[in-house]
């Protein structure tokens, strides 16, 4: 049998490690030829992964780590490359399937390169859709590539959305765990540290997405992502807090039915669905024990304590590249919070100020995405020195 050629962008991250686990579960080297693995800082892990799966290329986006990676892979026959240009070039090598698992806007160019080469894109990197918006989808369509959402909520919606009857869909219900501060008064949230904010109650994820889950900026990005993927005139987009993270999202239909996808909080189910699609492969992941789960709780989100949700709604309404502005400002503010330069509540404050100052630039082309991102970053960087809520 012909092996499927795959690349994993961001293989050293949380999504990347889970993807390699799924690849192993679904046949490993017998079933897959791993063409490219990429990472940035964790050269040891990247080298170990590349050797374990017999990758053809290992790439670090950090040019200064070339020698270190080269040394680790000496004698293995694995090709080594480094730097952002090499990353984009190798992401564009022809493969059947690419996992887009880099975090942030840095994932946009390599993901586009993969799509342009015709690979099916398993999209974990939400920033491609949030910042690239309609332009990203246009590029995917132009390339004739297929986009499979991996973000658990969007994967859930993808699984239960009846695409044969688009008019029957009334609402998309994105579930949210509410994060570690779901019940906290705002005064208590003011002084939280990055360590506390990164401790997600249900999901084990990368540090940045975990902190974004605490501020609900992750859900804000996911609202924009859902609007890009599943939005249609007359269709409502709702956010529902569901602390157990068992229902991964739902679709409401015009006959009153609501279809949901449920599962243990483990990204390997969504990754496996994208790797097996359109088939549903067997996966060794935890099965839901409903008696143990015992109850499912729901509550409306609080947009006063979590302004990120309101900002996402405003970005969707504004259209254009408002999503790129929201995300660019958020990425800078998040870094500043991690570095201890601003407080937790300042993240939303700075994003809101950036959106007010920059507005929604016109989506004239991919270059405009980078310009909007840069403008938002510049604005936010200026504010990060002087703001403290
Ligand atoms: P992570 O921080 O664990 O890993 C990110 C990966 O990207 C690593 O391989 C890292 O080396 C690489 N990387 C970081 N900065 C880079 C740069 N500037 N250039 C090139 N490579 C870079 O992140 P993660 O949690 O795996 O998330 C990856 C993406 O998937 C994010 O967009 C996130 O929002 C999304 N996502 C993650 C989860 C999850 O459970 N972890 C769930 C849904 C969606
Ligand atoms: Mg998600």
What's the CA gap between 114 and 88, in Å, rounded? 8
| pTM for the whole structure | 0.97
Per the listing, tokens 């869909």 go with 169
Per-block mean pLDDT, blocks of 10 residues, the chain (389 long):
95 98 98 98 98 98 98 98 98 98 96 97 97 94 97 98 97 97 97 95 91 98 98 97 98 98 97 98 98 97 97 98 98 96 98 98 96 98 76
Locate 155 and state its tokens.
């994967």
Q: Which residues of 305-318 are buried (b: 16+ CB within 10 A; e: fewer)?
A: bbbbbebbbbbbeb
Question: Which secondary-structure segment (H or E) carries 250?
Answer: strand 247-253
What's the CA gap between 242 and 340, in Å, rounded? 30
Instruction: Report the Cα 35 to chain-centroid distance in Å.
Output: 22
Binding-site residues, ligand 1, Cβ < 6 A = 10-16, 39-41, 61, 101-103, 106, 124-127, 151-152, 203, 205-206, 208-209, 267
Locate 41 and state its tokens.
């800082």
Distance (Å) of CA 370 to CA 86, 136, 308 = 19, 12, 22
* Ligand 2 midpoint to CA 207 (Å): 14
HSE, CB side, 13 Å, CA atoms: give it for residue 213. Answer: 25
Beta bridge partners of 262: 247
What's the CA gap between 308 and 201, in Å, rounded? 19
Q: Which of 315, 372, 320 is nearest to 348 (CA)?
A: 315
Per the listing, tokens 């499927």 go with 4
The DSSP line for 49-68 is: HHHHHT-SEEEES-GGGHHH
The residue whose CA is least distant from atom 8 of ligand 1 is: 13
Locate 92 and state its tokens.
């564009």
Q: Which residues of 230-254 are buried (b: 16+ CB within 10 A; e: fewer)?
A: beeeebebebbbbbbbbbbbbbbbe
What is the reported pLDDT for 385?
A: 82
* Other residues' Cβ atoms within 10 Å of the Cβ of residue 295: 7
* Ligand 2 midpoint to CA 126 (Å): 9
Ligand 1, residue 126: give the atom nearest the CA.
32
* Ligand 1 midpoint to CA 152 (Å): 14
What residues does the ion ligand 2 have nearby, CB within 5 Å?
A: 151-153
What's the CA gap between 120 and 168, in Å, rounded? 28
What's the CA gap between 368 and 361, in Å, rounded? 8
What's the CA gap between 125 and 98, in Å, rounded? 12
């Amino acid at each position: 049998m012909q092996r499927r050629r795959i690349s994993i962008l961001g293989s050293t991250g949380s999504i990347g490690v889970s993807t390699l686990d799924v690849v192993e579960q679904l046949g490993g080297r017998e079933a897959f030829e791993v063409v490219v693995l990429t990472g940035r800082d964790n050269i040891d892990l990247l080298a170990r992964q590349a050797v374990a799966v017999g990758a053809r290329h290992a790439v670090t986006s950090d040019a200064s780590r070339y020698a270190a990676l080269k040394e680790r892979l000496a004698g293995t026959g694995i090709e080594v490359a480094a730097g952002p240009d090499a990353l984009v070039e190798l992401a564009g090598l022809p493969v059947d399937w690419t996992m887009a698992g880099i975090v942030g806007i840095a994932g946009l160019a390599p993901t586009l390169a993969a799509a342009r080469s015709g690979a099916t894109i398993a999209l974990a990197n939400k920033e491609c859709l949030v910042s690239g918006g309609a332009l990203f989808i246009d590029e995917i369509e132009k390339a004739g590539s297929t986009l499979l959402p991996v973000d658990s909520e969007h994967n859930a919606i993808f699984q239960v959305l009846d695409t044969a009857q688009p008019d029957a869909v009334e609402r998309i219900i994105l579930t949210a765990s509410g994060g570690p501060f779901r019940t906290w008064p705002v005064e208590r949230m003011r002084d939280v540290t990055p360590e506390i904010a990164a401790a997600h109650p249900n999901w084990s994820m990368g540090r940045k997405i975990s902190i974004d889950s605490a501020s609900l900026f992750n859900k804000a990005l996911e609202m924009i992502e859902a609007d890009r993927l599943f939005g249609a005139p007359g269709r409502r987009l709702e956010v529902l807090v569901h602390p157990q993270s068992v229902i991964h999202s739902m679709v409401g239909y015009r006959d009153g039915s609501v279809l949901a996808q449920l599962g243990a909080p483990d990204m390997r189910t969504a990754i496996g669905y994208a790797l097996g699609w359109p088939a549903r492969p067997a996966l060794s992941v935890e099965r839901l024990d409903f008696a143990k789960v015992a109850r499912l709780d729901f509550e409306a989100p609080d947009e006063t304590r979590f302004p990120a949700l309101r900002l996402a709604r405003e970005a969707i309404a504004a259209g254009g590249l408002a999503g790129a502005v929201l995300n660019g400002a958020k990425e800078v503010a998040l870094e500043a919070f991690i570095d201890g330069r601003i407080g937790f509540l300042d993240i939303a404050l700075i994003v809101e100020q950036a959106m007010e100052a920059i507005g929604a630039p016109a989506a004239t082309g991919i270059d405009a995405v980078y310009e909007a991102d840069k403008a938002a970053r510049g604005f936010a960087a200026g504010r990060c020195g002087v703001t403290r809520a």
